[in-house]
Amino acid sequence: MKSVLSALAAAMLCVATPGAADSPVVVELYTSQGCSSCPPADKIFAELAQRDDVIALALHVDYWDYIGWKDEFAVPAFAQRQRGYAAAAHRRSIYTPQMVVDGQTDIVGARPMELSQAIAEHAALPSPVTLDVARTGKTLHITGQNLGAQGPMVVQLVRYAPMRQTKITRGENAGLTLHYANVAHDWKILGTWDGRSDLAMTAQVSGDDPLVVLVQQGTDGPILAAGALR
């Protein structure tokens, strides 16, 4: 696995492209503590989470809980989000591990070179929306401009824990102590934006966990812009 991670790190050096989008590329990892195929993807994802030009979000799902271990980070709504992506892509099933890049490109399993290529392709695209996120105390200020996207768009707020650790005692991963990066634990829709006027929105936040704001075409379409406060 060390060589795989080294290959990923080397491939990532080619991502920075002149004229690339000014919005970070969003990578969502759908994973489960009860899935024996997930630890390699979790390790690759932990490397990815260290990059400043990528917003990496781990969404733990609950549909493998029945096979012996209940994922303590799982949120039922994350499985529903994954089903939305599957329906939009005309896929009949969902699975772990899966990475979804900017709400559009899906990577099956732990495939660092495919992931690197997908990130590079999305990073090279101009963003159709500008987005600025700032926090003053408990108030989050979200502003943006539409440069050509079609409305309506959905503005979403995500909170995540940068690192979590779990000792798994049952199921397919029994006996392992696993580390998880950027574990999403709160995902809410702040509102919709028609794009006809500038975006100006506020939200109340608390706590010190990093936050991410996403502007997306619906809830399972392309992610048009993203901003993070880490």
Total structural domains in the chain? Answer: 1
Q: Is 158 a domain residue? A: yes
* Tokens 């101009």 belong to residue: 126
18 is a domain residue: no
How high is the pLDDT of residue 131?
A: 97
Lowest-pLDDT range of 7-11, 123-127, 195-199, 223-227: 7-11
Confidence grade of residue 29 (pLDDT, cut at 50, 70, 90): very high
- Whether residue 60 is contained in a domain is answered as yes
CATH of the domain at 73: 3.40.30.10
Asked whether residue 144 is assigned to any structural domain, the reply reads yes
Sign of CA pseudo-dihedral 122, 223, 105, 74? positive
- pLDDT at site 57: 98
The verdict on residue 7 lying in a domain is yes
Domain of 143?
2-11+23-229
Q: Are strands 199-204 and 139-146 parallel, antiparallel or unpaired?
A: antiparallel
What does the buried/exposed string (b/e) look like for 30-66 if buried means 16 or more CB atoms within 10 Å of the residue's CB?
bbbbbbeebbbbbbbbbbbbebeebbbbbbbbbbbbe
Average pLDDT value for residue range 21-50: 94
Would 166 be classed as within a structural domain?
A: yes
Grade residue 18 by pLDDT with cuts at 50, 70 and 90: very low
Closest CA to 69 of 27, 36, 114: 36
Average pLDDT (35-53) is 96
Tell me whether residue 83 is in a domain. Answer: yes
Query: Is residue 16, in this structure, part of any structural domain at all?
Result: no
Q: Regarding predicted confidence, which is higher, 22 or 230? A: 230
